[in-house]
Structure 1
Amino acid sequence: MNSWNFVGIIAWLLVIALLVLVVFNIRNRHLKILVVQKNGITWKTITVDFIEILVVIFAVSGMLYTTLFSRVDLKNKADIEMTYKYEPMIVQTTDDGQGYYVKIDKKDKHSDNDVYQYWVNNSTYSVSSRNAAISDATLPFNVSGMRISWPMKKITKMDAKYQQAYVITAHAKYKNNFSNGLGLKAGRFAMEYRVLRVPARSFINVENVK
């Protein structure tokens, strides 16, 4: 385990200790009032109970949000480290001799998700359209819906090197720092997204539409 994640472990232990402390504090105060002082529960006691419970709720909610529900900001360079890999695709040929780099498998016309198939280093790869996009090099580079800082200077060089037929794999990783450690995410994988760069839409083969 990454050492920074011990920050989150310690924080959770403190929250659990706070919860136990509040439970025992409320119990002991009520017993003291009822048994020792032989008085009834007053609004002052209820107010103190409410404040203590509220503190615990805020502490638990804050840690749950930080650990489980906080969304990754891929443009936050302070917390996220982005790396990019570029791999040339291998052209394939249809039965009628048409060359293509990407095949879109539309298994169900009612589904919003397609399967993109492509070839790299003599191996076949498939990726869901939820985690990938096709980029037509005849248009300005744009990946809608993904807040990723794309290295345009490098992409321009790769366009020339691979003749606009390659895969860009963007890999996001949580950096080793206090905020990521508090959420138990330091050093962990955040997300991966692929852009299938093709010279033109004519290099895309669409099959299996039902």
Structure 2
Amino acid sequence: MSSWNFVGIIAWIIVIALLIFVVFNIRNRHLKILVQQKKKITGVTILTDLLEIVVVILAVSGMLYTSLFTKVDLNDKDNIVVSYKYNPMIVQTTNDGQGYYVKINKQESSSSTDVYQYWLNNSKYTVSSQNATVSDATLPFTVSGLRLNWPVKKIKKLDSKYQDAYVITMQAKYKNNFRNGLGLKANRFAMEYRVLRVPASSFINVEK
């Protein structure tokens, strides 16, 4: 674990300590007014209670948002580092001798999500269409739904090297800094996305 994540751990300790302090502070003040001073709870006391509760809610909400609900911005170079890996796919054949690189298994797919299967070094890999897409090399290189500047020049070179049959694996990782540490994300993977590059759509086997 990155040492920057201790910033988030310390922040959570402070927030929890603040929550405990506020609970006991409200209880003690009420007991002091009612038991020791034998007075009634006034509007000032209630206002003080509400102010302390609001501070705790804001502190907890801020930490929860920073830790769990912030979206990954792949173009945020201050907090995200993006890297790429390239692996050639291995051709497979159907029973009738037709070659393919990617199989879409409709039995495992749902109405909104496809399941892709491909082979690297004789090992089978499975990935959901939520985290991958198939790219037909006969068409211009595009990846819809993912705002990212893909290394198109590199891809054109690899098209020639791997004969348009390879996997591009994009990995986004949180940098080691205060902001990511506060959210307990420093040096952790933010997301992974794969582009399954095939020479043409005829190299996709749809198995129903």
Do Structure 1 and Structure 2 share a fold, with TM-score over 0.5?
A: yes
**Does 2:140 correspond to 1:154?**
no
Q: 3-state DSSP class of the match of 1:45?
A: helix
Contact 1:80/1:173 (<8 A) preserved: yes
Q: Comparing 15-24 with 100-109, which one deviates more in the overlay?
A: 100-109
In structure 1, list runs of 5 or more residues that go unmatched.
none
Q: 3-state DSSP class of the match of 2:4?
A: helix
Aligned to 1:115: 115
Aligned-residue identity in percent:
73
Aligned length: 208
CA distance in 1, matches of 2:23, 2:109: 56
CA distance in 2, matches of 1:168, 1:158: 10
Residues 101 and 110 of structure 1: is their aligned pair in 2 closer, same or farther, counting only changes over 3 Å?
closer
1:95 maps to a residue whose letter is N
How far did residue 3 of structure 1 move? 0.4
2:75 maps to a residue whose letter is K
- The superposition leaves residues 141-197 of structure 1 with CA deviations (integer Å, 9 ceiling, x where unpaired) of 111222333222211221121121110011111111111100111111222111100
RMSD: 1.6
CA distance in 1, matches of 2:149, 2:19: 42
CA distance in 1, matches of 2:97, 2:28: 83
**Does 2:18 correspond to 1:18?**
yes
Counterparts of 1:1-210 in structure 2, within 5 Å, are 1-107=1-107, 111-207=111-207, 209=208
How far did residue 65 of structure 1 move? 1.4
Q: 3-state DSSP class of the match of 1:172?
A: strand
CA distance in 2, matches of 1:145, 1:189: 20
Query: What is the TM-score of this pair, normalised by structure 2?
Result: 0.93
